[in-house]
Amino acid sequence: MSATLNFIDAVRSNVAHDRIHARKPTHDLERWSVGVIEGLEQRDGHGVFEVRTPEGERIELVVTLAIRDLVIRRLDLEDGDSPIGSQVWYRTRGG
């Protein structure tokens, strides 16, 4: 394996990921915030959700691609529907 790939793997493994759920959590509710998905993108091998809080603040949540895909599947969308506008529950790094 090249030194570049080793470096990329090391950087990815040290990313502090946010937490996100498609459904209301059943535990520690006071630790979770609610928001609405306003955008989705893939950046540096991660999924990035742009979420608007009830106060109107925009935040970015960085998760693994597997978590991004899981959240989107659990939103109960019809085939071809966009997750934009869907409600999610989240915790930012360290939250």
In what side-by-side order are the strands of the sheet with 58-63?
A: 19-21, 87-91, 33-43, 46-52, 58-63
Does position 5 have pLDDT exceeding 90, yes or no? no
* Domain edges within the chain: 17-91
Partners of 72 in beta bridges: none
Query: Alpha helix (H) ranges present in the chain?
Result: 3-13, 65-74
Polymer length of the chain: 95
Separation of alpha carbons 72 and 78, rounded Å? 11
Q: Considering the entire predicted model, what is its pTM?
A: 0.79
pLDDT computed for residue 2 by the predictor: 46
Give the pLDDT band (50/70/90) at residue 8. Answer: very low
CB 85 within 8 A of CB 94: no
Q: Which pLDDT score is estimated for 13?
A: 52
* Per-residue model confidence as pLDDT tens digits over 10-59: 444 556 789 999 999 998 899 999 999 999 999 999 999 999 999 999 99
17-91 classified as CATH 2.40.50.140: yes
